[in-house]
Amino acid sequence: MLRQILALAFIFVCTSIAWVILGATIFSRTYGSNEQLQGRVASTWGTSQQQSPPTAAYFHDDVENSNTVENGKVIVHTQTVHQQIFLPVEASRIRVNFQLTPRQKGLLWYSTYAVDFAGDYTFRNETAEAQTVDFRLKFPAQKAIYDELQMKVNEQTMTLATDDQGTVGRATVGAGQTASLHVAYRSQGLDCWRYELGGGVAQARDFMLTMQTNFRDIDFADDTLSPTSKQPIPGGWQLTWQYSNLVSGFQIEMTMPAKLQPGPLAGEISYAAPVSLFFFFFLMFIITTLRKIDLHPMNYFFLATAFFAFHLLLAYLVDHISIHAAMILASVVSVGLVVSYLRLVVGLRFAALEAGTAQLIYLVLFSYAFFWKGFTGLSITIIAIITLFVVMQVTGRIRWSERFAARVGAPVPSAG
């Protein structure tokens, strides 16, 4: 009996080493090409975006005089200073609509999105004369596309000049008058979108930003403003940030939800596989001991290889088909290997009922616990406690010394 237990321990250790190697290979495949793949996604779709409010400024010439003494004479120097004066933003009404459209490259999903941006801003010329004002909209990202780009002042379309930093239009604003600037565009981005109120601590007066999403799993980065109100809409949320006179160094950001990542998930399942095999071996050993069924260590070796086949097949399927389809196919193959093999060794009833059920619990259900974000550890703990309780109740009246002694002297049944 001791030799058999040592043989099982050796098989378990060897299989565990194989799983560690497989898990390391999966993570290497996943993150080794991540930077290259992310660059390819960004080059074809776009990068993360950071939108800042538009600016309105005019140029004013001031004459400055300075005196110097040369050879005992006072010389007056006159210099014209070209100053840029910015008009303050008196009100902001911003609307942002997100359509999340994730894309898979290799073993990772990337959170790509489409964004419709529209904003109405009010500027006031507080001087006593009309000013020629340059309205500039800085692009939220250089590597992006901007479709249906619009800039209007008081409902009048401006002629735009565009460079790699943004676009600018010019209009005249009368003395003491307000200018209503409307900007809009459609674009694409990756991972997150941010609205920057201003550099450092900034002030926003009469500010409202309304955001709509087509996803429920919303998340906000650290050191950003939470919405002042939110309400569910079909398939997503409508979020609102509204302030009368805000002074803050925080910004507004939406972090796009990430889909279940097939590469890291397959790697985590592989690393945890020795735990599931331990439960399976433990239960098989108890059942065969109670029912006086002799399983040779070679039989356990083939059962371990059937378990390993599940993770090996899963690792190389997830970058070709969905993770759920890969799980189903790998489960069917692994369970089929175990049941068809034990049918020849012990019999169909034991193979399908005891072994098949145990494999469904400790391989398939155990692996699916990694899909339940935030509940994986709890799910595995519950499975372990239930297993311990059942085994303790079933074996509480067993005299193990007598049972092991009886098993040592038992004849080995033939495969036939």
CA 210 – CA 212 distance, rounded (Å) = 7
pTM of this structure: 0.77
Residue 72 has a pLDDT of: 66
pLDDT in tens, 165-221: 889 999 999 988 999 999 999 999 999 999 998 777 888 899 999 999 999 998 888
pLDDT in tens, 64-73: 666 676 666 7
Closest CA to 48 of 185, 193, 257, 146: 193
Is the pLDDT confidence value at 413 over 50? no
Residue 415 has a pLDDT of: 39
The correct CATH number of 47-52+91-255 out of 2.40.220.10, 3.40.50.180, 2.60.40.3680, 3.40.50.2000 is 2.60.40.3680
Residue 134 has a pLDDT of: 92
Report domain extents, the chain. Answer: 2-32+260-408, 47-52+91-255
CA 131 – CA 2 distance, rounded (Å) = 95
Is the pLDDT confidence value at 409 over 60? no
Is the pLDDT confidence value at 389 over 80? yes
Give the confidence band of 407 by pLDDT, cuts at 50, 70, 90.
low
